[in-house]
Amino acid sequence: MDVLIQDIRCFAGLHKIPVRPLTILIGENSTGKSTFLALLSAVSNSTSFPFRPGFNDPPYSLGTYETIARWGASPRDRSASFALGLTRDGDPSEHFEAIATYVREKGQPVVSKFRLTRPNVRIEMAKIKGTVTGDLFLAAKNNRPEYRTSFEVPLLPEQALELSNFLFLVVAQVHRKKLEELLEEPQKTLQFETMLEFVQASRFGGKPCQSIAPIRTKPRRTYDQVREVYTPEGDHVPLILASSLPLASENKEFAQLKQTIENFGKESGMFSQVSVRPLGRTTAGPFQLLIKGRGGKFNLSDVGYGVSQVLPVVVQSVLAKNESRLLLQQPEVHLHPKAQAALGSFFVRLVKDLNAEFVIETHSDYLIDRVRREVAEGRIASSDVLLLYFSKKQSRTKLYPIEIDSLGNVQRAPRDYRRFFLEEETRLLMRSGQ
């Protein structure tokens, strides 16, 4: 799958950015990594894209049109529009492309054009105030010419919540308009069925995305607030642990979560067990999280800050499994290098064993090197891993997809990749030789 970005912030022109099961974003600060995560999150949400893209859904905040559209040398050179989309090549039967163009309206980005292409079907739309006009095309097949019909439907708030709802309106209107033809010509009925299949498959983004913020929630000595709703900061994680860990011996899924947490804790050297201490007489009462380490069991608030920061990453990664793609910002924050490396093995294991998918923004060489080692040792296919290097010159970002071969070697890295680290090491060696 590739993300299409055109004239958004530091992404000048059209960028086609690949995403793999394990995609790692690297580069200096302010090169566009967090912006890319925000855009990937927005375009993957089929309930809001393209009509109401979540450019400011937590933990992201891209702002208004003024702060999203591409800048030139001055604000007067701002792009008159920007575009965002997804595409997938490969198997013709699974090909799709969806791309939306946005313009400014009352300071906010508003979709002005949208094109959605799937096998044998294409729909092109243009928004005119509260009305959407466009054309629907069925590909030529078996000596049948391309079938084209136009539509014009109102864009109401309740219809704009999800693209598939809007597409049903389009197909329904086309159906009524061509009802006589459908009754007179059986092949038109087949065309209508094809359009319905197109609508039903309109969740074009593949897996939805869940994001975890770079700074997670602070640990508490006692938890007494019931919060089951997912938050990027991980406020929901303590309750998940409280409701699942005590039942691990009775529930296979809870047992897997408990075992995965403990395996990571031991491999990272951070803890050997996470347990729950209830403080009330009912399961809905207050509770504490206890961390077992080398010196015994301690309250979560009394152990290293890194434990509370990594638990949401570990727990949500297991919960997501193959159901959603997890977007992570600096999962290594507050972690010792050994634990950072352990995270690399942790992500690889979930990709291989649970069909999980991750896009990870990191500044950790230890995490990256561990992933390379996992590839070299055959625990994950090199084709499932991609490093995306973000390099920014003046106000323009250029992306370099960097492959890792079967031996764990970095392939086709740009010249400035790791230049800083190499120069620092060279200066140190030269000084040592004096």
218 in the same domain as 195: no
pLDDT (average), residues 13-38? 94
68 shares its domain with 175: yes
Q: Which stretch of 11-20, 107-116, 274-283 has the lowest confidence by average pLDDT? A: 274-283
Across-strand partners of 400?
389
CA distances from 87 to 56, 207, 219, 432 (A): 23, 13, 40, 52
H-type alpha helices, 269-336: 305-320
**Is the pLDDT score of 433 beyond 90?**
no
Query: What are the helix (H) ranges across 26-162?
Result: 33-43, 65-68, 157-160
Q: Are residues 310 and 249 in the same domain?
A: yes
> Is the confidence at residue 31, as pLDDT, over 70?
yes
* H or E element, residue 167: helix 163-177
pLDDT band for 199, please (50, 70, 90 cuts). Answer: low
In a domain, residue 419? The reply is no
Question: Is there a domain that residue 341 lies in?
Answer: no
Does residue 209 belong to any structural domain of this protein? no
Same domain, 111 and 239: no
CA dihedral 334, 337, 338, 344 (to 10 degrees): 90
pLDDT (tens digit per residue) in 374-398:
999 999 999 999 999 999 888 889 9
From 321, 340, 361, give the residue that closes a domain: 321
| Total number of domains constituting the chain | 2
Domain boundary among 270, 297, 321: 321
- Tell whether 89 and 130 lie within a shared domain: yes
| Boundary-marking domain end, from 200, 225, 253 | 200
Average pLDDT, the chain: 84
Q: What percent of the chain has pLDDT over 90?
A: 49
Domain that holds residue 261: 214-321
Q: How far is the C-alpha of 123 from the C-alpha of 138, rounded, in Å? A: 9
Same domain flag for 241 and 179: no
- Per-residue pLDDT of 136-187, as tens digits, reads 887 776 666 677 888 888 877 655 567 777 777 777 777 665 544 544 554 5
Q: Both 71 and 169 in a single domain?
A: yes
At 350 the pLDDT is 94
- 251 found inside a domain: yes
Residue 334 lies in a domain: no
**Per-residue confidence at 91, pLDDT binned at 50, 70, 90?**
confident
386 φ, ψ to 5°? -145, 135
pTM assigned to the model: 0.87
Task: Give domain status of residue 146, yes or no.
Answer: yes
76 and 190 part of one domain:
yes
Domain-located, residue 272 = yes
Same-domain status, 129 and 221: no
127 pLDDT tier (thresholds 50, 70, 90): confident
Shared domain check, 235 and 190: no
Together in a domain, 138 and 76: yes
Looking at the domain assignment, is residue 34 inside a domain?
Answer: no
> Is residue 327 within 8 Å of residue 316, measured between CB atoms?
no
User: How does residue 201 score in pLDDT terms, banded at 50, 70 and 90?
Assistant: low
**Residue 59 sits in the same domain as residue 185:** yes
